[in-house]
Amino acid sequence: MTVLEMAKQYYPRLWSRARIEALVAAGRLTREEAEQVYEAGDGG
């Protein structure tokens, strides 16, 4: 399971927006991937 797949599964139930932003800052997710996570977590 990739970081992107985990983020999509866990946001927003277990991971906060701050967690996703921390992954972007650490280089584990790109900004585009973070936006995908937000869209998926907010119902598309």
pTM of the model: 0.89
pLDDT band for position 42 (cuts 50, 70, 90): confident
For 35, residues 6+ apart whose C-beta sits below 8 A from its C-beta are none
For residue 23, how many other CB atoms are within 10 A of its CB?
20
Instruction: For residue 26, count CB atoms less than 10 angstroms from its CB and return exposed for 0-12, middle for 13-18, buried for 19 or more.
Output: exposed
Q: What is the pLDDT of residue 1?
A: 95
The residue ranges of every structural domain in the chain are 3-41
Res. 44: pLDDT tops 70: no
pLDDT, residue 43, reads 77
Length of the chain: 44
**Residue 4 pLDDT > 70:** yes
pLDDT, tens digit (0-9, with 9 covering 90-100), for 5-32: 999 999 999 999 999 999 999 999 999 9
